[in-house]
A and B are shown apart, each in its own frame.
Chain A
Amino acid sequence: EIVLTQSPGTLSLSPGERATLSCRASQSVSSSYLAWYQQKPGQAPRLLIYGASSRATGIPDRFSGSGSGTDFTLTISRLEPEDFAVYYCQQYGSSLTFGQGTRLEIK
């Protein structure tokens, strides 16, 4: 079973800054099936990135994904106030595996 470990657990930044979130897998993950989600309180997760680097429909281009094998990264180039939320990476296919999440908070 693949385990996804996200770091850091909490990231404190200011609007306008750049955010870099990491997701490390316990074994190699097909890049085709690595996704990132944003979740705000009381809401379902929202798909941001799929296939490690493809933006989902309607996602602003300040969000980008990269990586392969066991190391993946979500980058938010310039934080907007609405970007402060919890972010999850996910491996998907016949089953789903989620990282434990990174909380992005306002500094």
Chain B
Amino acid sequence: QVQLVQSGAEVKKPGASVKVSCKASGYTFTGYYMHWVRQAPGQGLEWMGRINPNSGGTNYAQKFQGRVTMTRDTSISTAYMELSRLRSDDTAVYYCARVTVAGTDYWGQGTLVTVSS
């Protein structure tokens, strides 16, 4: 069965960076784009960007350009999202999600990133 398993919760200080991993299993990792979506406490869903696991090509939301880097390691079927220069309003649950022509059909369990001094 398809699974996306993310790394654990993180606590970071303002100005630091965080790197979240997303390990895929149960399907061909290089066959589907992986997207990253975040959700601040009590708020809605916000798209951050996507990576093509086959080519490594990325597209980022304008809001995060210059602060986000998405990478992948095909040998271990894992996608990564690194966010730098963290601020308190980056406190959120970060999700990886597989997107196909049939929607965002699988989501990771979410990784809580807390930014606090």
Asked if B99 and A50 sit within 8 Å, CB to CB, the answer is no
Say whether B102 contacts A95, CB under 8 Å.
no
Assembly CA distance A19 to B12 (angstroms): 41
Residues in B lying within 8 Å of A, measured CB to CB: 35, 37, 44-47, 50, 59, 61, 95, 97, 99, 101-105, 107-110
Q: Which A residues lie at the B interface, using CB under 8 A? A: 32-33, 35, 37, 44-45, 47, 49-51, 54, 56, 88, 90, 92, 94-101
Contact in complex: A92, B45 (CB < 8 Å)? no
Contacts between chains A and B (CB distance < 8 A), count: 58
The answer to whether A92 and B61 touch across the interface, beta carbons within 8 angstroms, is no
B102 near A56 (CB under 8 angstroms)?
yes
Give complex CA distance A88, B110 in Å.
17
Looking at the assembled complex, report how far the CB atom of A94 sits from the nearest CB atom of chain B, in whole angstroms.
6
Instruction: Report chain A residues within 8 Å CB of B35.
Output: 96
A51 contacts across to B, CB distance below 8 A: 101-103
Find the B residue at minimum CB distance from A88: B45
Closest to A51 in B: B102
CA distance A107 to B95 in the complex (A): 31
Partner of A92, one of B44, B99, B107: B99
